[in-house]
Amino acid sequence: MTKEHYISFIVYITNDRCEIVKLYPEQNAEARFLKRGKGIIYIYCNKDGLIKKNI
Ligand SMILES: [Fe+2]
């Protein structure tokens, strides 16, 4: 990631939980979550906006 184009945060939402990982431009674009079954992942990029992925 670069200071001009980076992922700001990643959120994993399931039925009863919401887990968020804040990312910074100096980091790699990755995060780890405990597997909690079906849910939704939201990824927010400062240029491309919010991306939703059902898992
Ligand atoms: Fe992007």
Between the CA of 20 and the centroid of ligand 1 the distance, in Å, is 18
The CB-side HSE value for 46 (13 A sphere, CA atoms) comes to 13
Between the CA of 7 and the centroid of ligand 1 the distance, in Å, is 7
Confidence at residue 21, expressed as pLDDT on a 0 to 100 scale: 98
pLDDT in tens, the chain (55 residues): 999 999 999 999 999 999 999 999 999 999 999 999 999 999 999 999 999 999 9
Between the CA of 16 and the centroid of ligand 1 the distance, in Å, is 28
Between the CA of 54 and the centroid of ligand 1 the distance, in Å, is 18
Neighbours of 26 (CB within 10 A): 9
The Cα 23–Cα 32 span in angstroms is: 12
| Beta partners for residue 22, in sequence order | 9
Q: Which residue matches tokens 């968020």?
A: 20
Residue 53 contacts residue 10 (beta carbons within 8 Å): no
